[in-house]
Amino acid sequence: MVTTEGVELLGGNIADVQDSYEYLGIPQANGDHEEAVRQSVIVKYQHRLAFNVVRTLVIITRRSACLNRGSVKKYLQVFGSCETRSVSQLHICLQPYLSSTNNANVNLALMDESEPVPVQLGEKRSCPEDEEEDTPSKKPKFESDHKNGGPPHQDEEEEPEGETNDGEEDGETFADMMKHGLTELDVGILKYVSDHEGFSGILKERYSDFVVNEINKEGKILHLDDLSIPAEAAEEIPEAQSQPEESDVLTEEQKKQLGELQHFKNKEDNVSIEVMDDTKEKRTLVHKAIKTQFAGLETKTEEKEGRKFIVAYHAAGKKALAAPRKHFWPKNRGSFCHFVLYKENKDTMDAINVLSKFLRLRPNMFSYMGTKDKRAITVQEIAVLKITAERLAHLNKCLINLKLGNFCYKNHPLKLGELQGNHFTVIIRNISGTDEQVAQAMTSLRQTGFINYYGMQRFGTTAVPTQQVGRAILKDNWKEVVDLILKPRPGAEKEFLVRCREEWAKTQDPEAALKKLPNKRCVEGQLLRGLSMYGKKNIVTAFGLIPRNNRLMYIHSYQSVVWNTMVSRRIEAFGLKAVEGDLVLKGTTAHVLSAEEAESCSIHDIVMPLPGFDVIYPSHHVGKGYRELLSADGLDIDNMRHKVKDYSLAGAYRRIIIRPSDVSWEVIKYDDPRISLVHSDFEKLENKPAPVFNKEGKYRALRMEFSLPPSTYATMAIREVLKLDTSIKKQTQLNTTWFN
């Protein structure tokens, strides 16, 4: 067993190490593992709460030769303990951390990359199409995950072959690697509206600490509370009473074979079922039973030696996606099946992609009112065209971290922005503020609100902020656009992206760079594919291969920086009162306030424009600052139309102060930092007990709930409460100090 001495530098928290072994299914009796962990902690990680560190080091030091060198390198990069990208340098980097008894094991681990990797991280995935994600490193305070990726690492030049590295002196901590990231200052987030004293805390230490429930257009907070199929669905099937049940047409042996096929990734395998009673009705029942009970399988009828078989197989390839089988759809049933999607630690589009693969649909057959955070538990409404509730409900048997329920049929899809907002339940762990400080901060949030800044997730986490790309697009500088997206950048990324960027910098050959990418659907892959097809002299067309939403994200990011900056100036100049020259909305039209009108207006009525050709600007000196700011970036505020219509900015108006509704809070105490402090919808459905809080617990957490309108950032509300910089860069630095 693991000894206390072996983990004394973890603050005596022996449970963390034991959980690491349990998590991986590794016997605890092996002393070599313990020694490797102990030495690694002594050399590199002399702080508490090193659960993820220990877990990863245990993986690396497994005595069996089951890790390929790519896997070892990935785990090292997660924690920044190996700054080189050269596989040949890995052993050198590992030596300072491992005992001599394990060096032979590391040599075995550095095998050829073509060998299999039987190591499983986390829970086993049951869904064949659910692509594995990289193991996340410990999240810094306040990080909000989004499409632009996770925490970057320091991207340094490869060391010359044969040059030794003592491992520790030149190594970088995660905080060092984040030195190229953005801070709030970089994107115009400068001011607070309250005067209470801030305090520290950890947000999203667990993804279950951040729960988002969508508020639909009727104002109802959505919950997953019903997994049953609507009654009308069963009534709509004619002849149902005269036909045998679907479950009766398949034998137990056939169900077992189909279940195994469903979870295999080899899509060439199949299961053949002979139809003894060869009638069309019997074959139809078998086809339907397979498709409804075993999501992801397609069927066909084949004749062999005069006998008929129904062959079940995995649907795959473009043909299956482009031409899904058409099914009978009753005229009296709404064309769209609406359902509530509950997801954990998964991006909305990732979830849609998983569902579309299992149902053999294009992702655009699904509609929704808004995308939700990845590192969170979220509940939202989804609609899909002509897919039965029965087929959707069967997916619950094999999906991990996704649940579907509350089914109903309607005649319309969902539209982006139709929602009234989102309701948030947020846990901020290990808070330092007194109960009085917490009450003062939350009362201010409820009564006054917060500045409606665009949050840090709007601007990306890499060393090349999205707003820089957006500015280059607006300036029609397409060479700079390509350079910003494809050039090598500080702050490490996935290794294939690093190789792709290096190839582009070296050869400027889009085809050669594209070959370095295993996944061609990322932004870089789409751009390189466009450059390969249309040439480097037709960049506008090549750039058009990137999905429209991604392209518009860049210019909207630039607008957001301008808006944040000008709102900070407005708060600095005039504080929290309406003044002459401010703008308010009358219907959808902006109106400039006179001095007399300003007396009767509240700060909550004031809006500021995002720059564009179809907006007006405040008439006071802050409004005139828009022209100066855009001129400094080489843009003409009087000419915001672009040669390419998609990139013409009409502009919009946004309230500068938001006051949340339904604000409530409590300070809770707990002993175990690993337990969830929120009772989720899924746990309620499973009849799992709600978390019990120990009034004498050694840790304190703030549990806060509030509702916000669409396009408003919850992290900005939490920023106002804690008065801490919410950027990954700053939060990583704070976490590192706290750990030490």
Select from 225, 230, 206 the least CA-distant residue to 379.
225
- Return the sign of the alpha-carbon dihedral for residues 58, 62, 66, 67: positive
Give the C-alpha distances (Å, rounded to integers) separating 561 from 523, 627, 725, 729: 22, 14, 16, 18
For residues 487-509, one letter each, b for 16 or more C-beta atoms within 10 angstroms of the residue's C-beta and e for the rest, the string is: ebbbbbbbeebbebbbbbeeeee
Q: Could you tell me whether strands 297-304 and 307-314 are parallel, antiparallel, or unpaired per DSSP bridges?
A: antiparallel
Select from 140, 88, 283 the least CA-distant residue to 715.
140
CB 660 within 8 A of CB 675: no
Backbone φ and ψ for 503, nearest 5 degrees, come out as -65, -40
CB 557 within 8 A of CB 466: yes
For residues 537-554, one letter each, b for 16 or more C-beta atoms within 10 angstroms of the residue's C-beta and e for the rest, the string is: eebeebbbbbeeeebbbb
Place of tokens 């066909």: 300
For 334-353, give the DSSP string: -SEEEEEEEEES--HHHHHH
CB 498 within 8 A of CB 523: no
CB 431 within 8 A of CB 667: yes
Q: How many residues in total does the chain contain?
A: 740
Select from 31, 28, 34, 30 the least CA-distant residue to 8.
34
For residue 498, the one-letter residue type is V
- Return the sign of the alpha-carbon dihedral for residues 712, 718, 720, 724: negative
For residues 627-641, one letter each, b for 16 or more C-beta atoms within 10 angstroms of the residue's C-beta and e for the rest, the string is: eebbeeeebebeebe
**Strands, DSSP E only, in 434-521?**
450-451
Three-state DSSP class for residue 595: helix
Q: Would residue 16 show up in a list of annotated catalytic residues for this protein? A: no
CA dihedral 154→556→419→544, nearest 10 degrees, is -90
Rounded CA separation 524/528 (Å) = 6
Place of tokens 């105490």: 669
Q: Which of 373, 582, 681, 725 is catalytic?
A: 373
Question: Distance between the two ends of the chain, CA-based, in angstroms?
Answer: 27
Helix, strand, coil distribution of the chain in percent, nearest 5: 40, 15, 45
Contacts of 552 (CB under 8 A, 6+ apart): 646, 647
Q: How many CA atoms lie within 13 A of 245 on its CB side?
A: 4
Q: Which residues are catalytic?
A: 373
